[in-house]
Amino acid sequence: STVEYGLEAPFSVEYHESIGSTNARARELATEGASNMAVLADEQTGGRGRLERAWSAPSGGVWVSVVTRPEITPAQAPLYTLAASVAMARSIREAGVDARIKWPNDVVIPVGEDGDYQKLAGILTEMEGETDRVEWIIVGMGINANIDAESLPEGATTIRDEAGDVDRRLFVQRVLEEFDAYRNDLEAVVPAWRELALTLGQRVRIERAAGDIVGEAVDVTSSGALVIETEEGEKTVSAGDCEHLRP
């Protein structure tokens, strides 16, 4: 199932026409010691979102998972998710689509002025390591590229629907190049993220087991946590589901 993809990518690429989940395959490779590898597929039959949610990944999309072994602490791992969201949003914008970033792991297209959006891409970050050191990190990126939005769940849109098809080979190459540049320059991630963030300035609700946080999203920290101004003062959250509330 593995063929040469002919990409000039900063990562060595294992390509599959069809696979269960590129993140699951990347995990196998990571536990075998792989690094700087990308698993790319045309179609996933068991694509995954966060919290075991299903991710629709028909043929025509860009489904890719990158394995790296960075010298960072687990607390900095959210920066990798932000780096991926910036890489994806910038590449999608080059394709002529007004892509913006919804914290923490979505690339979306704004609808109206109220923080509404349609989802164009998502990120699933997984890692292994100890409290002071990450052993490996997998950043799974799913981009609805050359797909009809009507074949995806409600609320999804695609590059095809917004601007027409992309050359997927060149497109994946751009995404991987951009991701590589940002993971090698982590200080550039947050400034680039701020420029494309749809979540900043929004009233949000973050759902957490420890209790929801409601307030205005005002910034992200240097490690990628969201800063929220609440009635009880400023709070930061490093992960969670984020809902944009109507003003």
The amino acid occupying position 30 is A
3-class DSSP assignment, residue 231: coil
What does DSSP assign to residue 6? -
The amino acid occupying position 49 is G
Residues 6 or more apart whose Cβ sits within 8 Å of residue 82: 101, 104, 189, 190, 193, 220, 224
177 vs 229, beta carbon nearer ligand BT5: 177
59 vs 222, beta carbon nearer ligand BT5: 59
Give the residues across from 142 on adjacent strands.
Answer: 63, 122
124 vs 198, beta carbon nearer ligand BT5: 124
- State the minimum distance, in angstroms, from the CB of residue 181 to ligand BT5: 20
- State the minimum distance, in angstroms, from the CB of residue 189 to ligand BT5: 19
99 vs 123, beta carbon nearer ligand BT5: 123
- State the minimum distance, in angstroms, from the CB of residue 118 to ligand BT5: 8
Dihedral class, residue 211 (left if φ above 0, else alpha if ψ from -120 to 50, else beta): left
90 vs 102, beta carbon nearer ligand BT5: 102
**Which residue is nearest to ligand BT5, using beta carbons?**
122
Residues 6 or more apart whose Cβ sits within 8 Å of residue 145: 60, 61, 62, 158, 159, 160, 165, 166, 168, 171
Q: Which residue ranges make up the site for ligand BT5 (CB under 6 A)?
A: 21-23, 44, 47-51, 53, 55-57, 63, 65, 105-106, 119, 122-124, 140-142, 144, 152-153, 156
63: enclosing H helix or E strand: strand 62-68
23 vs 223, beta carbon nearer ligand BT5: 23
Residue 176 exposed, middle or buried by CB count within 10 Å (0-12, 13-18, 19+): buried
- State the minimum distance, in angstroms, from the CB of residue 125 to ligand BT5: 9
179: enclosing H helix or E strand: helix 168-183
Q: Which residue has the tokens 């179609």?
A: 43
- State the minimum distance, in angstroms, from the CB of residue 121 to ligand BT5: 7
- State the minimum distance, in angstroms, from the CB of residue 211 to ligand BT5: 20
